[in-house]
Structure 1
Amino acid sequence: MMSTDGKPLTTSNNSSIWPVVGMMAQIPHPIRDYHKNIMLFGLWHSCVSPDPDRLLSSIVHDLMVSGAGDLMIDVGTENLIHFDIEVLIVGGDLPARSKCNKISAHNGFFSCTYCLYEGVSCTQHRHVLYPYVDFKQIRPPPRTKEHIAYCVEQIKQSNIKAFRTYGVYGLSPLIFNRCKEIYSVHALCHFTEQRFSFGSLAYHSMFAPESALHHFSKLAHGTISRGAQIAYWHCINRQIDTLNASPSPQIFTQNFF
């Protein structure tokens, strides 16, 4: 399971970090949420938010290469155990998800990643609404991988700068009252679908990645090369944890991480 999000480090120059973290689904919950069991796949530190291709493309490539090969881990048995690598879910808050999926932000039209609900403009407050009454009447079709591929092809053929169709503006490396019905409320309409697709919310919530984000930010001090400091001290801490760890055949069934 992968996740990414941004966290400001300083207010003077608006710099922020965007770590890409991963967790092993086989590790029992909540043990896998401990920050010592969270893997750091990549890290972006800049005053400018990252382009999703630069942030994720190399990570996706490495995961595909690892998934095509064999991952052997010593868990204390006579033979090494073979593990298959597969990304089950990529999580994030609404702004991070829209950036990584290259779909309109949560305050734009066609922001939903589950259906093709356009939304309506509120001229009084200048934001986009997703009324539930209209959603029930329209019953918009689902947003599928094939439809996103079609939108990307339309963008490639267009000569218009910043052209987007159905909220899609590029190929992602991942492929109450009326004025309160913004996209964050509309997303709740798909909660049941997410529950059946990914399981209980407790098993894929953003609590652990957000906690890890705060932990990573504490590894940097001062104002110089903070991203390099985080990567360096994270590697040092992981090496120390590895020296103190011992393999066990019950590593994925007993809570003694």
Structure 2
Amino acid sequence: MLYVTNSNKDKNQDLVQQIRKWAVQYNVSHGCANEMLNILRNIGQEIPKDIRTILREHKAVRPISEIKNGSYLNLGICNIVQPHLLKQINSITNNIIIKLSFSIDGLPLGKNSKTQFWPILMSFINVSIFKKKIFPVGIFHSFNGKPGDINEYLGPFINELNHILTYGIQINNKQINFEVAHIVADAPAKAFLLNVKNHNGYFACTSCEVEGEYLDRICFLDVSAPLRTNNSFRLKSNAEYHKDGFSPLIDLPIDITKCVVLDYMHCVCQGVVKRLLDFWVKGKKPVRMLEEKKNSISLALFNLRKSIPSEFARLPRSLDDLEYWKATEFREFLLYTGIIVLKSNIKKEQYNHFLLLFTSIRILCSDKIFNTHSDLASKFLVEFVQNYSCIYGSKFVSYNVHSLIHLPFFVNLHGPLDNFSAFKYENYLQTLKKSMKCCRFPLAEILNKVLASEGEELKTPLNNNLFIIESFKIDKKLSNFRFTYFKNIILKSNNYTLCCDNVKDRCIILENEDIVMIKSLYKLNSKNDSTIKLSVVKFLTVNNLFLQPVPSKLVGVFSVKTDHISNVYDISVNNIIFKCFFVQLSNNEAIVISLCHSM
């Protein structure tokens, strides 16, 4: 007979807890998990034989309702956010107003069918502890495309949102209020939400009343058309813009023309930047580059791989793989690698034109200068759109190209572009998609996945460390009783990875605007001072890389002399304001570009 002591029970419970966390974190299939459970049982572990038993505590009832063209799972705003707010309630002030961001977009689940999700995702804009957290509040599923009725699809969401906007939520005697900051969607989803003409219509622009012209296709050449207003939208003043019926968004107490934003992931990165690259690689002769230039750019991109900081999602790929590039790769090309690899490989007129876009988007991405220089970015974007006709042809001034002139308007309202971009939502959508194992009961499966993931996250202890996340590596060779030396650390405040032995993670900019290279990372083994210190050397010769359309230093781009540096000196980790992309051009010259996109 086997006697189980309390100690063994505790160990078994701990093991079950770890198995649950492992299964959720790595999205382990039930078959794989059950096989592992069987192995553990065969060596005497007292644990369930089916992973569903271990995961059952996360199961909960949520209504799945049949609506036109599919099914809708209403997870609920309050149901999802209340446990997280309760966990962090000591960090939340009474009567706070939490600004909400929403994203609504289609997510195809297969390449060979129309089956897809249409999730309603939410995030908090002005609460730093939830900066990267995405809350799924509703999910539509169909085997045959998008929701058949926008009002039926959004009805439960709109009703609950109106309730919390009016009354807020009370947790532990703290009143938490909410307001809608913005709604993020790509052009087709935005037209669906607003119940207006699609982006290829004559009056497609959601920001102004420009009338398109037909030059083999619809193009938008006017850069000074009157702006749409909340009042004109609700009154349907521009009848050619609207479809029959009304958008459910008119039931929300928001300014629709300001809250339904222009997303730069779809518009700029996957839209304009991709189109420019297509022109250069596959376009007609006046704008297409020579094959040798294309190969030169591909080689240059490959050579940059060793310099790409750890924060970048992907390494540069060849132009031969252009059709497979993701949005983050187009962003990387626009903000960092493009100005390096295009130099001398495309016509000067094209390069200077690209610099207008590069400079404008760098300004609008920067939380340091967007406020003071958005007018300059606006001027350059108008110039970019106008010159686009001359270089690539008027018929190619598409919805996306025209929309560039409206980006500064939304930046002035909502802050830097990453405050209201779709990048963080796109990451969540892909995680959601990868978690699917079969499509027989997709909403039931995704419900269990979401609840299991949320449950594990809520069990994770709070991390109040101000500077370092759990990720760091100690250099045991250098450490002694007085100092602990690190090979690398990750800063919690901005998620920068800093390293002392890899050039891609060594270059930073300080509060006093010095550009330095890290030589070592350490802290004093003292109760009185546990601040992370950096030993650094400063570049003494720092120049502009270009002077037009503005001196490059304004947008965080520098040319430095690597053979003219200071002696080693120490700084605090608190002195850092930017990490940099560092590219060695020659024995004594390098390009430094500050990171300006959200990590």
> TM-score, normalization: structure 1?
0.79
Distance in 2 (alpha carbons) for counterparts of 1:96 and 1:25: 22
RMSD across aligned C-alpha pairs, in angstroms? 2.4
Q: Which amino acid aligns with 1:102?
A: N
The alpha carbon displacement at 1:42 in A equals: 0.7
**Matching of residue 15 in structure 1 with residue 139 in structure 2:** no
Percent sequence identity over aligned pairs = 23
> Is the contact between residue 42 and residue 59 of structure 1 (CA under 8 Å) also seen in structure 2?
yes
How far apart are residue 55 of structure 1 and its match?
A: 2.5
Name 1:130's counterpart in structure 2: 220
Contact 1:3 1:22 in 2 (8 A): yes
1:222 & 1:172 partners in 2: Cα distance? 34
Aligned-partner Cα distance in 2 for 1:107–1:70 = 40
Runs of 4+ with deviation above 6 angstroms: none
Give aligned pairs, total: 224
Amino acid of the residue matched to residue 397 of structure 2?
Answer: E
Residues 20-52 of structure 1, C-alpha deviation per residue, up to 9 Å, x if partnerless? 1000112229x622xxx2100110111221132
> What amino acid maps onto 2:248 in structure 1?
P
Aligned to 1:171, which of 246, 257, 260? Answer: 246
Q: Residues 56, 232 of structure 1: CA spacing in aligned structure 2 closer, same or farther, 3 A cutoff?
A: same
| CA distance in 2 between partners of 1:118 and 1:57 (Å) | 32
Report SS of the residue matched to 1:202.
helix
Deviations, residues 190-247 of structure 1 (Å, cap 9, x unaligned): 1111111111102111100111111111222122111321122101211222133459
Quickly say closer, same or farther: Cα 1:70–1:193, change in 2 above 3 A: closer
Q: Give secondary structure in 2 for the equivalent of 1:53.
A: helix
For 1:58-107, what per-residue CA distance to the aligned partner results, in whole angstroms no more than 9, with x for missing partners? 11110111122231345xxxxx4322111110011111111111111111
**Pairing 1:219–2:435 present:** yes
User: 2: distance between equivalents of 1:4 and 1:198?
Assistant: 18
Within a 5 Å distance, the mapping from 1:1-257 to structure 2 comes to 1-28=101-128, 32-33=131-132, 37-46=133-142, 47-50=144-147, 51-73=149-171, 80-122=173-215, 124=216, 127-131=217-221, 135-136=222-223, 139-151=224-236, 165-169=239-243, 170-175=245-250, 176=388, 177-246=393-462
- SS at 1:141 equivalent: coil
Rounded to whole Å, the distance in 2 between the matches of 1:67 and 1:220 is 33
Tell me the SS of whatever aligns to 1:103: coil
SS across alignment from 1:208: helix
Q: For the pair shown, which has the larger CA radius of gyration, 1 or 2?
A: 2
SS at match of 1:117: coil
Secondary structure of 2:141's counterpart equals strand
C-alpha spacing 1:70/1:194, structure 2 compared with 1 (3 Å): closer
Please tell me whether the aligned partners of residues 6 and 19 of structure 1 are also in contact (alpha carbons under 8 angstroms).
Answer: yes
Output the CA distance in 2 between the equivalents of 1:115 and 1:57: 28
Q: Distance in 2 between matches of 1:245 and 1:18?
A: 32
Partner Cα separation in structure 1 for residue 422 and residue 212 of structure 2: 26
Matching residue's letter, 1:180: F
- Quick check: 194-203 or 48-57, which moved more? 48-57
Distance 2:463 2:176 in 1: 15
Q: Which has the higher contact order (CA 8 A, sep 6+)?
A: 1
User: SS state of the match for residue 148, structure 1?
Assistant: helix
Q: How far off its partner does 1:255 sit? A: 5.5
Query: 1:9–1:17: 8 Å Cα contact kept in structure 2?
Result: yes
Does the CA-based 8 Å contact 1:63-1:85 persist in structure 2? no
SS of 1:211's equivalent?
helix
User: Are 1:219 and 1:229, in contact at CA under 8 Å, matched by a contact in 2?
Assistant: no
**Structure 2 segments unaligned to the other structure (5+ residues):** 1-100, 251-387, 467-491, 495-599
TM-score norm. by structure 2 comes to: 0.35
- Letter matched to residue 189 of structure 1: I
Rounded Cα–Cα distance in structure 2 between residues aligned with 1:88 and 1:196: 13
What letter corresponds to residue 145 of structure 2 in structure 1? V
Letter in 1 for 2:159: H
